[in-house]
Structure 1
């Protein structure tokens, strides 16, 4: 009986040592393998500012491409940080798959407006973060003029998001002009008329009046008779022909 116990113990030790050796050998061999061409994925339904080639060029370490480098020297944090620094990237995840492939999943920023500033033209996303124009892709968003600094962007952003979040307003309003008096005027898709919105107070009430006016004038087909539609006065819509 004692001999059998010793035999079982020795068998257990041999198995444990063998497994440890195989794991160590496999791990070293895996780390020595070189990175193949990375897998790059973009979230569905997003803009196309970035291409596979552009992201691939961001996957660099020590100024060199990670392709054909050993897995043991790859720093995933550095690679993920490199991709995330791109102004079109909202979020990036870089990791090794179960089968050892390097994969990058990229969420691109979604522009909500194009700012036509006095000194530069750029997009902003829903957080007000600037995005440069791209030669690769042009996004059809609100055109905003008269806004020239970060404070003014923060001020107008709630108005932009209000328009962006409403199906009708999103389709109908194509431009916003801010005046020196801090009042706003809209350009419309359906006609040459202008919409005087006034300042940013009581936005919900003003948009409610504007929609009611649209419903009536679209129904009787008189919308094209007007040059300006003014909703900035309390309880009324003032128009000029």
Structure 2
């Protein structure tokens, strides 16, 4: 009977590879977490600190350093981090060197509500608590705060944030009632009666045309109100 040595060699090699892989995998699972790192992703990382994240993890798991890697459930750690109201997204992973890394995206406020309750509106239109670490420079929302008017305020803020001039100059939205919103500008004395959130593109296009002409004529200070409520026209009231 002829022995197929090539077949035997291949079999032995495969067994050796599987054994080495199993040994390395088992050894890796027994390794300890060497250190814990928190990384904030993006520019909007002012409302939550690394210390606050570490404290949150310790409260739920105790110290994570010098813990066996096999004891950690990364999805559960992510869920704990996501439970913080300042967190938009989180990714947790272990490196080959035993480093536990948490990459965190913080929520972005675009407006601040000043009413019976005080909170931010974030860039997805959801309520976001104020932060003790940083106060965002965003338009202040005042007046008649309801679920519907906050939805409309978000639509206005979302539009404002897409335009460089409006984003830099509008500092407040005052809600008189549903479909009646006023805008306050940083450097001007007049208020802008926006009306509702319909036809925002046309309303702001008309406003920008008025503003450019009034700035050229040096007459911006002459106006008390600028109304965009009426179709295809800007109605102004002088002081």
> Is residue 184 of structure 2 the alignment partner of residue 187 of structure 1?
yes
CA contact (8 A) 2:32 2:98 kept: no
Structural mapping, 1:86-105, within 5 Å? 86-105=84-103
Q: What is residue 162 of structure 1 aligned with on the other side?
A: 159
> Is residue 117 of structure 2 the alignment partner of residue 120 of structure 1?
yes
RMSD over aligned Cα atoms:
2.1
1:169 to partner: Cα distance: 0.9
CA contact (8 A) 1:193 1:227 kept: yes
**122-131 or 41-50: bigger deviation:** 41-50
| SS of structure 2 residue aligned to 1:59 | helix
CA contact (8 A) 2:174 2:181 kept: yes
Q: What is residue 233 of structure 1 aligned with on the other side?
A: 230
Deviation digits for residues 163-215 of structure 1 (CA, Å, limit 9, x no counterpart):
11111111111100001364111111112221122222332222122111110
> Is residue 66 of structure 2 the alignment partner of residue 68 of structure 1?
yes
1:161 to partner: Cα distance: 0.8
* TM-score normalised by length of structure 2: 0.90
1:66 to partner: Cα distance: 2.2
CA contact (8 A) 1:58 1:79 kept: no
CA contact (8 A) 1:115 1:147 kept: no
* TM-score normalised by length of structure 1: 0.89
Deviation digits for residues 37-75 of structure 1 (CA, Å, limit 9, x no counterpart):
222222232231122222223335853232221101110
Aligned length: 238
| SS of structure 2 residue aligned to 1:69 | coil
Deviation digits for residues 108-142 of structure 1 (CA, Å, limit 9, x no counterpart):
1111101112x211111121111111111111111
> Cα gap change, 1:12/1:202 in structure 2, threshold over 3 Å: closer, same or farther?
closer
| SS of structure 1 residue aligned to 2:35 | coil
Question: Any unmatched runs of 5+ in structure 2?
Answer: none
Quote the Cα distance in structure 1 between the aligned partners of 2:186 and 2:59.
48
